[in-house]
Amino acid sequence: MSFIRFDAIRNEVTNDQEQQALRRYVDRSDERDGMNQELQAKNPFEVDSPERAAFRKATINPRDGYSIERIIGQDNLFPTSYLEAGVKAAKSVCRIEVRDRIGRVLGYGTGFLVSPSLLLTNNHILKNEVTAEHCLAQFNYEHDLNLRERQMKSFRLSPKRFFMTNTKLDFTLVALEELSEDKTNLSDFGFLPLFPPSGKGLVGEFVSVIQHPSGAPKALAIRDSKIIDVFDDYIHYSADTLEGSSGSPVFNDEWTVVALHHAGVPDPKDETNYIANEGTRVSSIVQFVQSEQPKLSKDKKKLIDELLKTQASEEPAGEEILVKELSLEWYEGSTGHDPAFLGNSFEVPFPAFRKDLENDITPVESGENILHYTHFSAVMSKSRRLAFYTVVDIDGNQLRDIKRGNDRWYYDPRIPRDLQCGEELYKNNDIDRGHLVRRRDPVWGDSAEEANEDTFHFTNCSPQHKDFNQKTWLDLEDYLLNNAENGKYKVTVFTGPIFRNDDVTYRGVQIPAEFWKIAAMVKDDGSRSATAYLQSQKNLVDDLELANNEYKTYQVPLIKIEELTGLDFGDLRKYDPVSHLEATVSYVIQAAEDIRL
């Protein structure tokens, strides 16, 4: 759907794009028809890729109780705030008036602010800096409640300050002047952040388009369109658009921009009709912008930094983290937990699994079942996508103080990514990435830096309510580490969740309600000790929005942990100071003095 009023120019600009869109549509027809049949019985989360579906779930505000049902098409109920959010999103959308160098109006398009300074539209609307110099971005061109036109605010484009365009993706980013002709601030119109991850819109999900059809006052095609296909760089959807709608933002139900509308898909049997619309995916645009940033001048880099920082600060995740993957070479030489770490006279082997759990252990690329890191190891569950347990060796004589720095979390390339719970689980909620091996514990010796980095693997975290790491559990961790450091001891600590069939399911993941620790050490008098601890967050995860009850940490017989986890710690249970108690007996730990070693 082009914006140009002159047919000769329109055909020159858009015909190739429309024909490419048609080829993409036709090539996927059989596959799409099969997917549409699946959608009759399943929701889009189940037929789209796991990674995209997982991120889509992560963008949903958990306080919107109807959101999941609405997205899969089973419920059309909305909170009234949906309309308010739509009005807010519409403020950033403008009409682009395309002019020649003597001021004649050639046509209209649509664009929208994506940062405090930058406007996004199509390449076929603003092909180059020369064209952009003569154009206007007209905000507030819309009707009020009395169907009267509001006072339009016109801003000149500033391509010399910033201009970036790409023909294949059909987008242009251009800077605007900060003040309009009547001295209105551009900041009055906000902006629509562009979020890089894939999965903001799934096949079968409704989308809305805010646009200036035919250059008319702002209009909205609201939820009358579904995404019908997703390609590497484009999505196809059905929606009402006209010439002038090019450059419009395509939104999901959270009013997050999923695509930049740019073309129609013509009906091969009747070129006067269109069978779908096509938009360029936001994730592809952001990826291109990031790749071009190093080539830019210092001032232009700052504008892109502003755009990218905006994404991080506005994204539903809440806090900014960097998700990456290390190369396989990083893990070479990582031997993990050493069973003889506490001395040959006190071997602490890896625990054995109960027979029925063995098939649920995630195999590692090397052929093992254990992921080894620097000074610690982990064994993963396939079904839960979380660690069964971690085990870390702490050397109190060599501990080093390394600052945490900015969070960056890693997927482990030695196991499939879809068997690891990633950032999609932790966004926009009260769930933290709870370190199983605490960051400070393996940070000792010459490889302390590597150990510090290794603790930021998703394989080493488990979903924990933000209030879970309360004082007594933290006191326990501090006690074990400080005792090792002050006494120059060595300690081996196992940590893990307890998997129950009735654990609450949240975003497709069962959230463990309880966590445990086992600490093994050699005391001053040479005697051996292996103590076990348990804490529950059940009351916190039963209702992730209304958690306020008291919860406690317990010291329990080690055999209690074995019963709950299906792990066999062998001879360790011999050195448990409370082993004489029944598995049902436990001590409440209210302070470090309550711990029985």
3-class DSSP assignment, residue 231: coil
Q: Contact 265/278 with Cβ under 8 angstroms?
A: yes
Reported in sequence order, the residue ranges of 215-373 that DSSP labels E, i.e. its strands, are 219-230, 234-237, 249-251, 257-267, 270-281, 322-325, 352-353, 371-372
Round to whole Å and give the CA distance between 310 and 298: 18
Our CA dihedral for 562, 566, 570, 576, rounded to 10 degrees, sits at: -10
Round to whole Å and give the CA distance between 511 and 463: 6
Report residue 492: phi and psi, to 5°.
-110, 125
Q: Which 8-state DSSP code applies to residue 134?
A: T
Round to whole Å and give the CA distance between 589 and 597: 13
What are the beta bridge partners of residue 120? 112, 173
Report residue 119: phi and psi, to 5°.
-110, 140
- pLDDT at residue 424, rounded to an integer: 81
Round to whole Å and give the CA distance between 108 and 118: 19
Selecting among 435, 457, 465, 580, the annotated active-site residue is 435
Round to whole Å and give the CA distance between 157 and 229: 34
Pick out the residues of the known binding site for Mg(2+): 469
C-alpha angle 482-486-490 in degrees, rounded to nearest 5: 75
Tell me the two tokens of residue 366. 């090397």
Tell me the two tokens of residue 451. 């150990």
Q: Contact 551/539 with Cβ under 8 angstroms?
A: yes
Round to whole Å and give the CA distance between 481 and 475: 10
Q: For residue 159, which amino acid is it?
A: P
DSSP-derived pairing of the beta strands 505-506 and 490-498: unpaired
Q: For 496-550, write each residue's pLDDT tens digit.
A: 999 999 888 887 888 888 899 999 988 878 889 898 888 876 544 344 332 333 4
Tell me the two tokens of residue 424. 């999609």
- pLDDT at residue 211, rounded to an integer: 86
For the question of residue 143 being annotated catalytic, the response is no
DSSP string computed for 457-485: BGGGEEEEETTTS-HHHHHHHHHHHHHHH
- pLDDT at residue 269, rounded to an integer: 76
Task: From first to last of the 597 residues of the chain, give the pLDDT tens digit.
Answer: 333 333 333 444 456 777 777 777 766 665 655 555 555 545 555 556 665 666 566 566 555 555 554 555 555 666 677 788 889 999 999 999 999 888 899 989 999 999 999 999 999 999 999 999 999 999 999 988 888 889 999 999 999 999 999 999 999 999 999 999 899 999 899 999 888 776 677 777 888 888 888 888 888 877 667 788 888 889 888 755 566 578 999 998 888 899 999 888 877 777 677 788 889 999 899 989 988 988 999 899 889 888 876 444 344 444 456 788 888 999 998 999 999 999 988 999 999 999 999 999 999 987 889 999 999 999 999 999 999 999 999 998 898 888 766 568 999 999 998 899 988 888 777 778 888 998 889 999 999 999 999 999 999 999 877 666 544 455 666 667 676 666 678 899 999 999 999 888 887 888 888 899 999 988 878 889 898 888 876 544 344 332 333 446 778 889 999 999 999 999 999 999 887 665 554 555 555 555 555
What are the beta bridge partners of residue 531? 519
Classify residue 96 as left (phi > 0), alpha (psi -120 to 50) or beta: beta
Which H or E run contains 264? strand 257-267
DSSP-derived pairing of the beta strands 322-325 and 408-411: parallel
Give the other-Cβ count within 10 Å of 528's Cβ: 18
Q: For 92-123, write each residue's pLDDT tens digit.
A: 999 999 998 888 999 899 999 999 999 999 99
Tell me the two tokens of residue 309. 């920082």
Rg of the chain taking only CA atoms, in angstroms: 29
